[in-house]
């Protein structure tokens, strides 16, 4: 009976293609159900009260919506946490680990990935993962050129910006060579954090990218034989710059927050940040004078994405996933972008959001010292992470003896 | 007899609780230094980590500032403490010092350093006081002060914090000496006070200062948090380099860190040996002069400076504290304003709720570790005195050095190994581990501060109780304990403040699951907002201060109707 067969075929066809997505949905529902009552130990840098306050809000939301307790473990260096997870692996602890979720990117991600310290690919299961702007934000797929492979979940965007005091500096430099001229004219009023501080290394990478004619080799693993040739312009620049730095380059700040403090004290006139809204935020809190403004270089500045990741031995992987998914929700992302809250740019694509969701972002105030998306200009992608250690090593060799 | 054998358990328990884990911690840290780090795929032994360490461009500079600041701070603190004692003892200022030591010691190193940096920076409070009126500066000058490459500011910070500690040890040491009569005899023979100290008192006092001095030396050589706050940056000290290597995302650097930790350990042992050698040399050199009968001292004209030094120490400490207080209520405070242009209370009210939990964790860990330490220390001392009274060879006094090991070994040299051990035993992140690691550092200080007073107790008081046919326990509880309550509580207060200040141990053992007021403060200190840092740093000061206040108030209340007990 062909008619009956046909009906059977059609039925089978429907069963297969209808249940497939709903089964995926079920799996997520199961994850949410398992997550209830679990505790997530979320390890992340705790040096900013603005960010801590945002995480406190997200934790409270996770508690009421999903019944998950989130404990923010504030650390001063996330590398420390990577080291602890490594120690756990060394002691053979494959479950019941001390970290459920951690805030990382770049070399820390690469270290965790190559040492098998991450949960096997999982972010594709997050419902909100579909909303990420992979097309226009390539750094959500390649973290410092390393393929993300669904092993960490995008959280926010960062772009190197410079903060200056417009009450002192009339027109800020627009490129690395102009910065050198500025320093020669205003001796002792600029500096950068000493590598291996993250910001210090970023500043050096920015200089390298701007001063190198052919950037292509920087996006491949470092070729040690050509390293000296490629980086020659960078060292020439730094050799010339250092005598004109704050304290004649004999000491350098340990971190970007220390730079911000120096800017507030008027010891230096230009500081740097990875958060385009940081200047506006600092004006609101009274940390910096209301004359501070933001600028970027003419040919663009380095940008990247920061992520949250779940270790291979997390005690509550389900709750960690539910929380990471919540952090990706339009509501949480919009709140994060609010410069009066944190001001960290979203990883989501406006085109993928509903009209109501988009409105959450459109209605946000933009601080007086924040640049518009157009003003922020070109984003330069991070070089391959192997350049970080190579450049740092040479830098230490030259300036930290 | 059974009583004394039960007492024997105390030193046994105390020693095994400390010796074994620390040895294992050292070994587990040293293994990667020799190339053994199985998780990174290194299983053979190799000298590569050591080679990388010695080839590191920052090592010579780091060693230089480590040695200069460590040895410099320890020797200067000792000299200063002895000078102050010799010149001020017996005057009215001496009472002031005695009274001020507790609050001085309760100001944690990190909190003090944060205030001190702001005091001496070119944009700091001292400069603001004279700008622009006297100095003419509308912008801070580009001068090198805090964090100088020669580690002078780091050394100064440590001297300012360690001198009061050594003075406290001088106080407790003097308790055991008959100072009054020694001075009286010396005076009657026409010796100048400085001569009395150098000829008669210091030779008796020094054996009791030896251990605290070595602890100060080891601490100064290996301190991490202070070196981050006020140490040099290009390159930093060795301890900071090690910490950085342990935290490097490139896992191979953990082996270099381990090699550095071993080097720091060897360096510390070397300097301890040097200190002991120097002691012998000075003893030999001075032996002939002890009896030369010279009454006058060439340093007599300087005798007045002792109290000035002490005043300076006090003044800098209080000013640093004051600066923190002002920052905690400032909204906007820009150069060159002498005082904030806007004052608010909101930094306190916004953060108060968030500090309750870390404060609670701090108090719980400190109370537990202090209580257990105190019982163990009293037990050990009782055992020692019982053996001594029975004329049995008291080997315990010597072997108790083990208890002090944690103070003589750089923390960073064994904490990584201990972390591995705890993870292996599934004890990481537990209260048990946290309290234990705090005890490792609390107990030696309780011992140091209690021992001399405890040993000088006149056992005839207890004999009176025993002749009244009281049980030894009742005699202990009703007679000995009340008499010794003051030193016991004071040693507890010292232990309490030591526990509160623990940063690295809490972090390594607690898995980050225990947020104490100190871990919160140090993590915020990495941020930029001085106002919040000040609020947290002050809260960190409050707890030890309460501890010292209790140590003073409780005996006073207990003995309010005992005239003789109040002094």
Q: Tell me, letter by letter, the H, E, C secondary structure of A279-319.
A: HHHHHHHCCCCCCEEEECCCCCEEEEEEEEECECCCCCHHH
CB of B335 within 8 Å of any CB in chain A?
yes
Domain ranges of chain A: 36-155+306-370, 161-303+379-399
CB of A394 within 8 Å of any CB in chain B?
no
CA distance B113 to B321: 10
CA distance A135 to A383: 19
Superfamily of A36-155+306-370 according to CATH: Periplasmic binding protein-like II (3.40.190.10)
Q: Is B482 contained in some domain? A: no
> Does B231 have pLDDT greater than 80?
yes
Q: Is B254 contained in some domain? A: yes
The least confident of A86-90, B234-238, B310-314 is A86-90
Angle made by CA atoms B313, B319, B321, in degrees to the nearest 5: 105
Report A:346-385 residues touching B (Cβ under 8 A): none
- On the 0-12 / 13-18 / 19+ scale of CB atoms within 10 A, A216 is exposed
- Owner of token pair 């692996």: A89
CB of A59 within 8 Å of any CB in chain B?
no
CA distance B448 to B208: 9
Q: Is B415 contained in some domain? A: no
Write down the pLDDT at residue B39: 56
Contact B234 A252 (CB under 8 A): yes
CA distance B242 to A397: 17
Report A:80-119 residues touching B (Cβ under 8 A): 80-84, 86-93, 96, 98-99, 106-108, 110-111, 115
Contact A90 B335 (CB under 8 A): no
CA distance B181 to B204: 14
A161-303+379-399 CATH, one of 3.30.1490.20, 3.20.20.370, 3.40.50.880, 3.40.190.10: 3.40.190.10
Q: Establish, for the pair of chains A and B, how many residue pairs have beta carbons separated by less than 8 Å.
A: 172
- Owner of token pair 């006073």: B556
Write down the pLDDT at residue A272: 95
> Does A169 have pLDDT greater than 50?
yes
**Average pLDDT across chain B, whole number:** 88
- Closest of B510, B504, B536, B485 to residue B364, by C-alpha: B510
Phi, psi of B214 (to 5 degrees): -65, -35
pLDDT band of residue B41 (cuts 50, 70, 90) is low
CB of A191 within 8 Å of any CB in chain B?
no
Report B:464-493 residues touching A (Cβ under 8 A): none
Contact A285 B428 (CB under 8 A): no
Chain B residues whose beta carbon lies within 8 Å of the beta carbon of residue A97: none
Q: Do domains A36-155+306-370 and A161-303+379-399 have the same CATH topology?
A: yes
CATH of the domain at B251: 1.10.3720.10
Contact B530 A261 (CB under 8 A): yes
How far off is chain B from A17, nearest CA to CA, in Å? Answer: 44
Phi, psi of A92 (to 5 degrees): 80, 20
Q: List, for residues B393-403, the tens digit of each pLDDT value.
A: 655 566 667 77
Q: Is B232 contained in some domain? A: yes
Q: Considering only the beta carbons, identify the residue of B122, B511, B527 that sits closest to A84.
A: B511
Asked whether this complex has an ipTM greater than 0.95, the answer is no
- On the 0-12 / 13-18 / 19+ scale of CB atoms within 10 A, A46 is buried
Q: Considering only the beta carbons, identify the residue of B58, B139, B528 that sits closest to A400.
A: B58
Q: List, for residues B335-394, the tens digit of each pLDDT value.
A: 999 999 889 999 999 889 889 999 999 999 999 999 999 999 999 888 888 888 887 765
As given in the structure block, the two tokens for residue B399 are 């072997």
Q: Is B395 contained in some domain? A: no
CA distance B480 to B465: 10
Residue of B nearest to A283 (CA): B332
- Closest of A135, A134, A148 to residue A104, by C-alpha: A148
Write down the pLDDT at residue A345: 92
Residue of A nearest to B425 (CA): A91
Contact B251, B49 (CB under 8 A): no
Q: Which residue has the higher pLDDT, A193 or B563?
A: A193
Q: List, for residues A34-78, the tens digit of each pLDDT value.
A: 999 999 999 998 888 889 999 999 999 999 999 999 999 988 788
What's the pTM value of the predicted model, to 2 decimals? 0.89
CB of B420 within 8 Å of any CB in chain A?
yes
Contact B526 A76 (CB under 8 A): yes
> Could you tell me the residue range of the domain that residue B210 belongs to?
55-333
Beta strand A301-309 pairing with A379-381:
parallel
Number of domains in chain B: 1
CA distance A255 to A142: 26
Chain B residues whose beta carbon lies within 8 Å of the beta carbon of residue A59: none
Interface mutation target, options B29, B37, B39, chain A, most CBs of A under 10 Å = B39
Q: List, for residues A228-259, the tens digit of each pLDDT value.
A: 999 999 999 999 999 999 999 999 998 889 99
CA distance B221 to B22: 19
Distances in whole angstroms, Cα of residue B83 to Cα of each of A48, B55, B61, B79: 44, 42, 32, 6
Contact A93 B247 (CB under 8 A): no
């Amino acid at each position: 009976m062909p008619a009956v067969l046909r009906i059977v075929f059609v039925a089978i066809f429907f069963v297969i293609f209808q249940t497939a997505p709903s089964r995926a949905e079920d799996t997520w529902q199961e994850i949410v159900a398992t997550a209830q009552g679990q505790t997530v130990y979320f390890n992340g840098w705790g040096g900013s009260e603005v960010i801590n306050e945002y995480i406190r809000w997200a934790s409270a939301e996770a508690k009421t919506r999903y019944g998950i307790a989130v404990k923010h473990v504030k650390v001063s260096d996330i590398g420390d946490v990577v080291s602890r997870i490594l120690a756990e692996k060394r002691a053979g602890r494959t479950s019941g680990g001390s970290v459920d979720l951690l805030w990382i990117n770049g070399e820390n991600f690469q270290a965790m990935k190559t040492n098998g310290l991450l949960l096997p690919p999982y972010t594709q299961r997050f419902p909100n993962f579909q909303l990420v702007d992979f097309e226009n934000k390539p750094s959500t797929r390649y973290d410092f050129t390393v393929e993300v492979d669904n092993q960490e979940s995008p959280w926010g965007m960062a772009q190197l910006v410079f903060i200056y005091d417009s009450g002192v500096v009339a027109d800020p430099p627009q490129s690395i060579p102009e910065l050198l001229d500025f320093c020669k004219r205003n001796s002792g009023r600029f500096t950068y954090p000493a590598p291996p501080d993250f910001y210090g290394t970023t500043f050096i990478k920015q200089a390298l990218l701007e001063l190198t004619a052919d950037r292509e080799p920087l996006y491949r693993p470092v070729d040690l034989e050509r390293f000296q040739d490629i980086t020659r312009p960078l060292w020439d620049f730094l050799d010339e710059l250092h005598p004109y730095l704050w304290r004649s380059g004999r000491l350098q700040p340990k971190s970007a927050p220390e730079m911000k403090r120096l800017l507030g004290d008027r010891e230096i006139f230009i500081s740097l940040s990875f958060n385009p809204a940081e200047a506006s935020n600092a004006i609101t809190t009274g940390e910096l004078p209301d004359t501070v403004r933001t600028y970027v270089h003419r040919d663009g500045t380095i940008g990247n994405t920061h992520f949250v990741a779940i270790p291979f031995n997390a005690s509550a992987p389900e709750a960690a996933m539910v929380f990471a998914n919540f952090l990706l929700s339009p509501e949480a992302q919009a709140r994060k972008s609010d410069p009066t809250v944190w001001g960290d740019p979203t990883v989501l694509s406006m085109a993928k959001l509903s009209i109501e969701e988009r409105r959450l972002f459109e209605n946000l105030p933009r601080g007086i010292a924040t640049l518009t998306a157009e003003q922020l200009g070109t984003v330069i992608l991070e070089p391959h992470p192997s350049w970080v250690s190579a450049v740092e090593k040479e830098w230490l060799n030259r300036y930290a003896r | 007899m059974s009583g004394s054998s039960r007492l024997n358990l105390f030193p046994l328990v105390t020693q095994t609780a400390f010796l074994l884990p620390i040895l294992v911690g050292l070994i587990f840290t040293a293994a990667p230094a020799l190339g053994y780090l199985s998780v990174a795929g290194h299983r053979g032994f190799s000298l590569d980590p050591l080679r990388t360490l010695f080839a590191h461009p920052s090592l010579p500079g780091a060693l230089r500032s480590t040695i200069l600041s460590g040895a410099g701070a320890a020797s200067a603190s000792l000299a200063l403490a002895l000078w102050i004692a010799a010149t001020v003892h017996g005057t009215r200022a001496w009472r002031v010092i005695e009274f001020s030591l507790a609050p001085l010691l309760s100001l944690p190193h990190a909190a003090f350093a944060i205030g001190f940096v702001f005091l001496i920076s070119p944009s700091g409070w001292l400069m603001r006081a004279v700008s622009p009126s006297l100095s003419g500066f509308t912008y801070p000058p580009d001068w090198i002060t805090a964090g100088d490459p020669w580690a002078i500011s780091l050394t100064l910070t440590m001297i300012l914090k360690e001198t009061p500690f050594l003075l406290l040890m001088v106080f407790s040491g003097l308790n055991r000496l008959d100072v009054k009569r020694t001075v009286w005899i010396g005076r009657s023979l026409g010796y100048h006070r400085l001569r009395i100290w150098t000829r008669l008192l210091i030779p008796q006092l020094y054996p009791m200062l030896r251990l605290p001095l070595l602890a100060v030396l080891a601490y100064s050589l290996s301190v991490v948090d202070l070196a981050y706050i006020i140490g040099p940056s290009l390159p930093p000290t060795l301890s900071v380099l090690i910490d950085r290597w342990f935290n490097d995302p490139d896992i191979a650097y953990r082996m270099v860190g381990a090699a550095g930790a071993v080097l720091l350990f060897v360096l510390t042992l070397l300097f301890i040996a040097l200190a002991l050698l120097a002691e012998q040399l000075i003893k030999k050199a001075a032996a002939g002069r002890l009896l030369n009968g010279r009454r006058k001292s060439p340093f007599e004209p300087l005798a007045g400076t002792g109290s000035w030094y002490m005043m300076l120490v006090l003044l800098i400490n209080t000013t640093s504290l004051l600066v923190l207080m002002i920052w905690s209520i400032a909204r906007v405070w820009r150069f060159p304003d002498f005082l904030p242009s806007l004052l608010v209370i909101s930094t306190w009210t916004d953060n108060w709720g968030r500090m309750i939990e870390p404060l609670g964790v701090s108090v719980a860990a400190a109370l537990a570790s202090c209580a257990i330490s105190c019982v163990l220390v009293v037990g050990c001392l009782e055992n020692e005195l019982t053996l001594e009274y029975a004329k049995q060879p008291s080997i315990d006094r010597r072997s108790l050095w083990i208890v002090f090991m944690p103070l003589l070994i750089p923390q960073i040299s064994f904490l990584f190994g201990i972390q591995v051990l705890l993870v292996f035993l599934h004890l990481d992140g537990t209260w048990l581990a946290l309290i234990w690691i705090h005890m490792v550092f609390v107990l030696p200080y309780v011992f140091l501060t209690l021992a001399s007073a405890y040993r000088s107790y006149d056992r005839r008081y207890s004999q009176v109780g025993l002749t009244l046919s009281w049980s030894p326990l009742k005699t202990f509880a009703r007679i000995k304990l009340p008499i010794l309550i003051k030193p016991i509580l004071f040693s507890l207060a010292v232990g309490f403040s030591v526990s509160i200040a623990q940063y690295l141990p809490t972090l390594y053992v607690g898995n980050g699951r225990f947020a104490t007021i100190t871990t919160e403060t140090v993590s915020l200190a990495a941020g930029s907002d001085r106002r919040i840092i000040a609020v947290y740093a002050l809260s960190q000061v409050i707890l030890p201060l309460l501890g010292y206040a209790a140590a003073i108030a409780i005996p006073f209340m207990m003995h309010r109707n005992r005239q003789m007990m109040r002094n």
